[in-house]
Amino acid sequence: MSFKLLVVDDDRTLLRFLGEYLERERYAVITADRGSKALRAFYQEKPDLVILDVMMPGMDGWEVCARIREMADTPIIFLTAKTAETDKLRGFRLGVDDYITKPFSLPEIVARVSAVLARAHSARPEEPSIYRVGDLAIDLRKRQAQINEAPIELTPTEFRLLAALAKRTGEAVSQTELVAEVWGSERRGGGNALRRYISMLREKIESDASQPERLVTVRGFGYRLEP
């Protein structure tokens, strides 16, 4: 299987050498030297993994990572000269899969890419792939949801939110837990975003979104998906 990589760095010389090396290792490579270009390429090309520089002018790697996590769970490797533990922890809280500091060797990059891709595509038999909640079915592998076998059109963020609740059907899940699982703990204004997405999700899975019976509010705490 040939994997597609998106490599993002504002150092165009480094970007060219890294892209050429990865192509020799039989990866398909898309490059971008700005955060805004990276997001467009991500949306259009749907890469299997992103190698992302942190310190870039304009939209930096932190913001690009957060935007990608709004759309997908694609593996991300941060590439940066920042070595402080607090920066690495911030990256992992955003949902980054690995963190490589400059300077680095090209064989190291390939080894890290291979390891992250292997983890991302390994089977996880201990976790059910389909959750059923009444007439609602959530298929994690296909990233699809259905009610009475009729497909529901969900955005990636809506699907992650529904999946997080479905995995704990019948349990009250706090707002903090949901924000961390869906957006990462670094998300600013996460409570407002969560309420907005809960409202949009109710429009799609409730017979009457104004009087929810399936996705209910646990006042002062969070939300619960009723069994």
Q: Tell me: domain 4-121, CATH 3.40.50.2300, correct?
A: yes
- For 224, list phi and psi in degrees, rounded to 5: -140, 135
pLDDT of residue 123: 46
> Which uninterrupted H or E stretch holds 191?
helix 190-205
CA-to-CA distance for 17 and 13, rounded, in angstroms? Answer: 6
Whole-Å CA distances, 183 to 23, 152, 187: 32, 21, 6
Question: What number of H helices and E strands is found in the chain?
Answer: 8, 12
CA-to-CA distance for 57 and 8, rounded, in angstroms? Answer: 12
The domain limits of the chain are 4-121, 130-225
The share of the chain scoring above pLDDT 90, in percent, equals: 47
Q: Nearest CA to 10 among 49, 60, 44? A: 60
Cβ count within 10 A of residue 150: 8
**pLDDT tens sequence across 82-138:** 666 666 677 677 778 888 888 888 888 999 999 998 888 774 445 568 899 999 999
> Which uninterrupted H or E stretch holds 173?
strand 173-174
Q: Which residues, 6+ apart, have CB-to-CB distance to 213 below 8 Å? A: 206, 207, 226
Q: Is residue 196 over pLDDT 80?
A: yes
Q: Nearest CA to 195 among 206, 207, 179? A: 179
pLDDT of residue 89: 72
CA-to-CA distance for 42 and 218, rounded, in angstroms? Answer: 36
Specify the CATH class of 130-225 in words.
Answer: mainly alpha
CB-based contact 187:95 (threshold 8 Å): no
CA-to-CA distance for 146 and 205, rounded, in angstroms? Answer: 9
pLDDT of residue 2: 74
Over residues 46-58, mean pLDDT: 90
> Which uninterrupted H or E stretch holds 192?
helix 190-205
At 23, the pLDDT band (50, 70, 90 cuts) reads: very high
